[in-house]
Amino acid sequence: MAGNKKTIEPFLWLGFSGGGVVAALTLPVLLFLLGIAIPLGWIAAPDYAHLAAVLRHPLTRLGVVVIAAMSLIHAAHRLRFTLHDGLKLGKYDAVIATVCYGAALAGAALAAYIMFAVV
């Protein structure tokens, strides 16, 4: 049966859609709060002790890592298919996929390292 070739493509699309949802729900709120509302004085900036206490909680750390990882997977998938379909570089798909998803994995690992080993 030649048509039953197993691929990981459905999982990549799952990561793409999940990353899009996570990015769409969290990043605009964070950008508004940290980039507009706090600098303009619309809301009071949290003090260092409060932010440090929030970041010390394991669920907050896990949440930040999930947001970073899912956003990076979404971006990697979008970039892969932009290069593949938009720029017609389909003959380099294996290299492009390896670089895109490898960079997303490295970024997620870096986010996990920063959140669990450094902070």
pLDDT at 23 over 80: yes
Burial (CB count <10 Å: 0-12, 13-18, 19+), residue 68: buried
- Where in the sequence is the domain holding 103, given as residue range(s)? 11-118
Domain presence at residue 29:
yes
Structure tokens, 51 = 């932010």
pLDDT at 1 over 60: no
How high is the pLDDT of residue 3? 64
Within 13 A of 28's CA, how many CA atoms are on the CB side? 5
Residue 36 is part of a domain; what is its CATH number?
1.20.1300.10
How high is the pLDDT of residue 11? 85
Say how far residue 6 (Cα) sits from the centre of its chain. 26
Domain presence at residue 5:
no
Domain presence at residue 6:
no
Q: Count structural domains, the chain.
A: 1
How high is the pLDDT of residue 71? 94
pLDDT-based confidence at residue 75 (cuts at 50, 70, 90) = very high
